[in-house]
Amino acid sequence: MATGETGFDDVSYDLISVQYHSLKAGHDYGQYVRDAENAGRQDIADFFRRVMEEDSARAKQCHEFLKDMAASGDSGPAVG
């Protein structure tokens, strides 16, 4: 697997990027839930909760892929 300038292979970098953005978005969605609840829009608050759960699952899947890649040595020297 090719290793980029960062010391991470492209796939590891991509997974880390998706994981970061999913976790960051999940943090932000907490505020969106509160905003919707404060506006009396439980339907929208429930929607934001579902989106937050989806991003949490996405971040967890990235974590599992990264663990597997590190264990197999497919991630390059930066993830090991």
Residue 19, pLDDT > 70, answer: yes
Over residues 42-77, the pLDDT tens digits come to: 999 999 999 999 999 999 999 999 999 999 876 555
Domain ranges of the chain: 27-72
Q: Which of these ranges, 9-18, 35-44, 46-55, has the smallest mean pLDDT?
A: 9-18
- Residues 6 or more apart in contact with residue 22 via CB below 8 angstroms: 55, 56, 58, 59, 62
Q: Would you place residue 3 in the very low, low, confident or very high pLDDT band (cuts 50, 70, 90)?
A: low
Q: Would you place residue 9 in the very low, low, confident or very high pLDDT band (cuts 50, 70, 90)?
A: confident
The overall average pLDDT reported for the chain is: 87
